[in-house]
């Protein structure tokens, strides 16, 4: 933290200060306002009939018994939505998805019908009473099986379509092939390389699992023709655009409000059938309709993450210089392609897979595949498949080091993009804005006394009586966040810029609105801190509002750690417009020329003269009272910021584990995380974000898993089974930082919230595998539960 220069600066509580979170006053008193807190007069409740089977034809749906349940008002099926052309909806990935199953169900828990009733209980009773007759079809849950010639046809609606939104389809269950890099040069480098390594790995299906599930309250006013919907959306403006396009209601009469959100983690970016059904029900019935998912519905049917079957290959010299990288991925996207990636990137930013290393040639290919599982593939705390990419490259560098008998740190040093190479263009065409990987790693190695840890490990390996296996994981990752330059990044054709509007009131306090939406990140605090420093107004009196499309300027929302890189920049630019006008007003009030003024914390003063000044408070009053001739009254500005590039935060993580040789039980002895996100706005919030991301990384690596049995029954979809670590299981985190500002961001800031998730997961695997490295093991898949580790121990002749 930069110590404030004086009391005036301290009073601002601006950038760089660990000020407490403004929003916590309401959160810790239970006074937040979540979607389920919205209660409107005459509000009806909706519940969803879901398929018990994974693949079947719907022979018949009988609503009669349900309609007799006291309180039930209506039951809607695909047949009812058909006349409105709303039984299918477009997905963000250019596919279509059934809103309610149309003649066929494609995965277990798919939405089949909705029941609307006067209360939540009656709606649930109604759901029980809807009779659906299914004729079961063969199920495919394995994407490799799905691509075989005789595999069951999952998407009959696509029959005969040999091309999708992302080009050619070569099989009825194939969605797209996407590739990047130079294949010929990469193949040539492999053909002549002295050393090559190859490793298959599966990044299993996991779920973001926010504590608050998804939900909506839709309220259509038939008199005014206006639709207001409160919903748990990470991107309310794009939802408004889509709702207007689908319903035909003018965008000016659609209002989407994201109230407080109890965690998003990528799960609340997409548009789900439940939202659409609540809106349609409200339009049809002319009354407000509330839909709130339960936990099992959230885990089973809303967007999952990952499920990437990856093959990595590295070519290198005998002394460990990497010459080329090749990867091939089979991506399970479930029954509908409903990933939420920028339109032109069906595999997100997977091509950041060359990581922190200077690799001359690289090529990657991803094939998207349909299976009878829930749709998804969202960016769970990651900027669109970056987690998968970082996992692959970090695993591969370890595998190569093992093959060459090199140390993990030494091989990384040998291949780092060096500080003087930035801006650096990767083999995939990303222009990395800045970085200093060697300094970050050196700081971590020194902090944990790496040589001593290795010596301890050697000693333990030499002692057969030692009850534990000790593993050391090391990862040096690069993220790509801040989507994005709108020339390459859009969602449904809308460029991925972001926005800010600031109004300074006559008495010197202010309100600001952005196109993003906090889900717990603390935007109300950090955004106010940026404005405080830029404008010399205390962050305490700067009100931040997000999430209401009727008041906030258009923006693309919060995910992919884009708020700081994009909206954060918009805030600085809007503030600078106000600053420029304030300077004119100050010059007028002081009767001097603008050039004679200098800015100091909260005021313009006559250069070198502390006694002649006008504070921002004076200037605000004057703006509404006696602006200079020719200048409009008022003190406000709007800025739409289209970033010139992504930002590239990075980090170096080290983990030490001790695995019990008898039981496979693992203790995380140490986890040291160094992050570099450029200029830091609020170090305390950053620390909290890093703890959160590391804890979610721990959960994924050590326990989370959604899997399916052969019939397509989902496993692990309750919190009895799905691992959400509490304070009891969570390791103690040690954090550290370096500061390498982004050269193109007005504040030098990069995103940070995803880095700890992206970086920690491969670090855990690196540590777990390292514990077995002396026994010839190079890789095993997550999650590293005690049971799976016990099998691993048995496989190498340990454990009973």
Interface contacts to ligand PCD, rule CB under 6 A: 210, 234, 263-266, 379-381, 519-523, 526, 558-564, 677-682, 685-686, 689, 692, 749-754
Q: Nearest distance from residue 363's CB to ligand PCD, in Å?
A: 26
Between 203 and 432, CB nearer to Cu ion:
203
Q: Decide whether 88 or 559 has the Cβ nearer to ligand PCD.
A: 559
CB closer to ligand PCD out of 304 and 559: 559
User: Of these partners, Cu ion, ligand PCD, none, which one is at the site of residue 558 (CB under 5 to 8 Å by kind)?
Assistant: ligand PCD
Helix axes 236-247 and 273-285, enclosed angle (nearest 10):
50
Q: For the segment 219-238, give every residue that binds Cu ion (CB under 5 A).
A: none
Tokens of 240: 């408004």
Rounded Cα distance, 452 and 120, in Å: 60
- Let me know if 754 is a catalytic residue: yes
* Residue placing its CB nearer to Cu ion in the complex, 69 or 382: 382
- How far is 447 from 441, CA to CA, in rounded Å? 10
Of these partners, ligand PCD, Cu ion, none, which one is at the site of residue 91 (CB under 5 to 8 Å by kind)? none
Work out what residue 385 binds among ligand PCD, Cu ion, none; the CB cut-off runs from 5 to 8 Å by kind: Cu ion
What count of other Cβ atoms lies within 10 Å of the Cβ of residue 163?
9
Length of the chain: 800
Nearer to ligand PCD, 186 or 695 (CB): 695
Catalytic pick among 500, 754, 788, 792: 754
Q: Is 633 left (phi over 0), alpha (psi -120 to 50) or beta?
A: beta
Active site residue 339: no
Tell which residue, 443, 437, 487, 444, has the closest CA to residue 648: 437
Q: What is the radius of gyration, based on Cα positions, of the chain?
A: 28
339, 97 Cβ separation under 8 angstroms: no
Catalytic residue of the set 97, 108, 234, 457: 234
383 versus 679: smaller Cβ distance to Cu ion:
383
| Helix boundaries (H) for 193-247 | 236-247
Please tell me whether residue 382 adopts helix, strand or coil conformation. Answer: coil
Rounded least distance, CB 197 to ligand PCD, Å: 31
- Which tokens go with 376? 């998804």
CA distance 468 to 658: 6
* Full DSSP string of 466-510: -SEEEEEEEEEEE--BS---TTT-EETTEE--EEEEEEE-TTS-E
Looking at the Cβ atoms of 273 and 697, the one nearer to ligand PCD is 697
| Residue choice 139, 382, 655, 694 for contact with Cu ion (CB under 5 A) | 382
Backbone angles phi, psi at 701, to 5 degrees: -70, -35
Tokens of 62: 């009988």
- Could you say which residues in the range 161-190 bind Cu ion, by CB under 5 A? none
Q: Is 712 helix (H, G, I), strand (E, B) or coil?
A: coil
Least CB distance from residue 762 to ligand PCD, whole Å? 17
From the CB of 757, what's the least distance to ligand PCD, in Å? 7
Residue 621, binding choice from Cu ion, ligand PCD, none, Cβ under 5 to 8 Å by partner class: none
At its nearest, how many Å lie between Cu ion and the CB of residue 388? 6
Minimum CB distance to Cu ion smaller for 380 or for 527:
380
Q: Which is nearer to ligand PCD, 263 or 725 (CB)?
A: 263
Structure tokens at 659: 């695995």
Taking the complex as a whole, the smallest distance from the CB of residue 380 to ligand PCD amounts, in Å, to 5
Binder of residue 680, out of Cu ion, ligand PCD, none (CB less than 5 to 8 A by kind): ligand PCD
29 vs 192, beta carbon nearer ligand PCD: 29
Alpha-carbon distances of 375 from 238, 372, 552, rounded to whole Å:
20, 9, 31
Is 381 designated active site? Answer: yes
Query: Distance between alpha carbon 138 and the CA centroid of its chain, in Å?
Result: 34
* 242 CA to centre of own chain: 21
Q: Is 385 in the site for Cu ion (CB under 5 A)?
A: yes
Say which DSSP state 431 is in: E
Q: Considering the rule CB under 5 A, would residue 379 count as an interface residue with Cu ion?
A: yes
**Which partner from the list ligand PCD, Cu ion, none does 690 bind, CB cut-off 5 to 8 Å by kind?**
none
Nearer to ligand PCD, 37 or 128 (CB): 37
The answer to whether 257 and 516 are in contact (CB under 8 A) is no
CB of 339 to ligand PCD, least distance (A): 12
Give exposure, 239-277, as e/b (b: 16+ Cβ within 10 Å): bbbbbbebbebeeeebbbbbbbbbbbbbbbbbbbbbbbb
Least distance from ligand PCD to the Cβ atom of residue 292, Å:
18
CB 483 within 8 A of CB 489: yes
Q: Which does 564 bind (CB under 5 to 8 A by kind): Cu ion, ligand PCD, none?
A: ligand PCD
> Which residues pair with residue 723 across a beta bridge?
none
What is residue 316's three-state secondary structure? Answer: strand
Binding letters toward Cu ion, positions 387-406, x by CB under 5 A? x-------------------
CB of residue 726 to ligand PCD, shortest distance in Å: 16
Give which of ligand PCD, Cu ion, none residue 560 binds (C-beta under 5 to 8 Å, depending on kind): ligand PCD
Measured at the CA of 90, the angle between CA 82 and CA 645, to 5 degrees, comes to: 165
Cβ atoms of 137 and 114 within 8 Å: the answer is no
Considering 214, 339, 382, 500, which one is annotated as catalytic? 382
**Which residues in 248-387 belong to E strands, given as ranges?**
254-257, 289-292, 304-316, 322-332, 361-369, 376-378
Compute the half-sphere exposure of residue 151: CA atoms within 13 Å on the CB side of its CA: 24
Q: With CB cut-offs between 5 and 8 Å by kind, which of ligand PCD, Cu ion, none does residue 426 bind?
A: none
**What is the per-residue binding string for Cu ion in 337-376, x denoting contact by CB under 5 A?**
----------------------------------------
Q: How far is the CB of 420 from Cu ion (least distance, A)?
A: 31
The minimum distance between CB 775 and ligand PCD, in angstroms, equals 36
Residue 753 binds which of Cu ion, ligand PCD, none (CB < 5-8 A, kind-dependent): ligand PCD
| 523 binding partner (options ligand PCD, Cu ion, none; Cβ < 5 to 8 Å by kind) | ligand PCD
Catalytic, 479? Answer no
The active-site residue, picked from 381, 385, 395, 583, is 381
**Residues annotated as part of the active site:** 234, 381-382, 754
Footprint of Cu ion (CB under 5 A): 379, 382, 385, 387
């Amino acid at each position: 933290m930069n110590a404030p220069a004086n009391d005036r600066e301290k009073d601002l509580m601006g950038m760089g200060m660990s000020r407490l979170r403004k929003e916590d006053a309401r959160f810790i008193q239970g006074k937040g306002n979540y979607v389920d807190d919205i209660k409107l007069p005459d509000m009806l409740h909706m519940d969803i009939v879901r398929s018990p089977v994974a693949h079947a034809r719907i022979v018949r749906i009988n609503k009669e018994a349900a309609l007799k349940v006291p309180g039930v008002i209506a039951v809607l099926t695909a047949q009812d939505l058909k006349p409105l052309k709303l039984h299918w909806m477009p997905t963000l990935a250019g596919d279509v998805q059934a809103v309610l199953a149309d003649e066929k169900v494609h995965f277990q828990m798919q939405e089949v019908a909705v029941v609307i009733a006067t209360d939540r209980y009656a709606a649930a009773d109604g759901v029980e009473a809807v009779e659906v007759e299914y004729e079961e079809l063969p199920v495919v849950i394995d994407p490799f099986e799905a691509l075989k010639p005789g595999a069951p046809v999952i998407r009959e609606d696509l029959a005969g379509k040999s091309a999708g939104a992302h080009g050619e389809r070569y099989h009825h269950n194939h969605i797209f092939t996407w590739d990047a890099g130079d294949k010929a040069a990469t193949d040539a480098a492999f053909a002549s390389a002295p050393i090559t390594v190859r490793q298959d790995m599966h990044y299993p299906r996991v779920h973001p699992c926010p504590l608050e599930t998804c939900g909506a309250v839709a309220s259509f006013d038939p008199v005014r023709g206006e639709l207001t919907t409160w919903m748990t959306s990470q991107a309310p403006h794009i939802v408004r655009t889509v709702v207007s396009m689908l319903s035909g209601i003018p965008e000016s009469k659609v209002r989407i409000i994201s109230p407080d959100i109890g965690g998003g983690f990528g799960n609340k970016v997409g548009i789900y059938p439940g939202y659409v059904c609540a809106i349609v029900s409200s339009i049809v019935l002319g009354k407000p309709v509330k839909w709130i998912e339960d936990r099992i519905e959230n885990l089973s049917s809303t967007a999952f993450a990952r499920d990437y079957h990856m093959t990595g290959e590295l070519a290198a010299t005998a002394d460990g210089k990497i010459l080329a990288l090749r990867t091939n991925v089979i991506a399970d996207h479930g029954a509908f392609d409903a990933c939420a990636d920028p339109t032109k990137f069906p595999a997100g930013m997977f091509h950041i897979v060359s990581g922190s290393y200077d690799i001359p040639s690289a090529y990657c290919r991803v094939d998207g595949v349909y299976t009878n599982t829930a749709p998804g593939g969202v960016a769970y705390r990651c900027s669109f498949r970056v987690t998968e990419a970082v996992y692959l490259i970090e695993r591969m560098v370890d595998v190569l080091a093992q093959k060459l008998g090199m140390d993990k740190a030494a091989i990384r040093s040998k291949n780092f993009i060096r500080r003087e190479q930035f801006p650096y263009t990767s083999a995939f065409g990303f222009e990395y804005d800045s970085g200093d990987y060697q300094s970050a790693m050196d700081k971590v190695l020194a902090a944990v006394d790496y040589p001593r840890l290795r010596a301890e490990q050697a000693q333990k390996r030499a002692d057969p009586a030692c009850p534990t296996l000790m593993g050391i994981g090391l990862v040096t990752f690069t993220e790509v966040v801040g989507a994005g330059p709108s020339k390459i990044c859009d969602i449904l054709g809308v460029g991925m810029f972001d926005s800010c509007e600031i109004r300074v009131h006559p008495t010197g306090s202010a309100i600001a609105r952005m196109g993003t939406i906090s889900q717990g990140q603390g935007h109300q605090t950090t955004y106010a801190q940026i404005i405080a420093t830029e404008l010399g107004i205390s962050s305490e009196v700067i009100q931040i509002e997000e999430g209401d499309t009727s008041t906030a300027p258009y923006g693309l929302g919060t995910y992919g750690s884009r708020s700081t890189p994009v909206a954060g920049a918009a805030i600085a630019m809007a503030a600078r417009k106000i600053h420029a006008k304030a300077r004119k007003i100050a010059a007028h009030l002081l009767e001097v020329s603008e050039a004679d003024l200098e800015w100091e914390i909260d005021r313009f003063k006559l250069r070198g003269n502390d006694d002649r000044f006008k504070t921002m408070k004076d200037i605000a009053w004057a703006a509404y009272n006696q602006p200079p001739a020719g200048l409009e009254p008022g003190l406000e500005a709007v800025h739409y910021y289209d970033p010139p590039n992504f930002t590239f935060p990075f980090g170096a993580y080290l983990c030490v584990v001790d695995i019990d040789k008898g039981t496979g039980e693992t203790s995380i002895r140490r986890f040291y995380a160094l992050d570099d996100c450029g200029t830091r706005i609020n170090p305390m919030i950053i620390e909290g974000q890093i703890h959160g991301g590391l804890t979610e990384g721990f959960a994924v690596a050590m326990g989370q898993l959604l899997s399916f049995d052969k019939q397509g029954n989902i496993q692990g979809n309750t919190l009895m089974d799905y691992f959400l670590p509490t304070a009891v299981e969570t390791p103690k985190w040690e954090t550290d930082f370096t500061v390498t500002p982004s050269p193109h961001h007005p504040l030098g800031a990069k995103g940070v919230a995803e880095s700890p998730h992206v970086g920690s997961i491969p670090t855990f695997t690196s540590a777990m595998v390292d514990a077995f490295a002396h026994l010839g093991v190079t890789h095993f898949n997550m999650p590293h539960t005690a049971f799976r580790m016990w099998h691993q121990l048995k496989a190498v002749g340990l454990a009973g």
